[in-house]
Amino acid sequence: MPRFLTMIRIDENNVPAEGPSPELMERMGKLLEEITKAGVMLDTAGLRPTSEGSRVTWSGGRMSVTDGPFTESKEVIGGYSITQCKDKAEAIEWTKRFLGTHDEYWTITAEVREITEA
């Protein structure tokens, strides 16, 4: 069965300062429990802010490291999941359910991509 990487993109400048509400965390927890019991979820996690990250770039034969925050980025990856689904449609359906757990003031984009098997 194919595996899918879902990258959750957020605008760090528009995330509530207090973070996710307890109600959101409860809804998310229930969905993650359901998707895990269904045997679909392989791994998932949120990511620390870009202010704590670094970018390593190889360009023109030179290596550079840039420490965050990455203010030039409108959207950054705020979390990810790796799922094993029968097809892309199923991966998208689980992703839609995940996004739907969020309150209406959140703006989130998810990119779903199949992982190439070697």
Q: What is the pLDDT of residues 63-117, one digit of tens each?
A: 999 998 877 777 889 999 999 999 999 999 999 999 999 988 888 999 999 999 8
Helix (H, G, I), strand (E, B) or coil at 66: strand
Q: Cβ atoms within 10 A of the Cβ of 31, count?
A: 16
Residue 18 above 90 pLDDT?
no
Q: Which fold has domain 3-114?
A: Alpha-Beta Plaits (3.30.70)
Helix (H, G, I), strand (E, B) or coil at 51: helix
Q: Which residues contact 68 (CB under 8 A, 6 or more apart)?
A: 49, 50, 51, 52, 53, 54, 55
Domain ranges in the chain are 3-114
Helix (H, G, I), strand (E, B) or coil at 90: helix
- At 13, the pLDDT band (50, 70, 90 cuts) reads confident
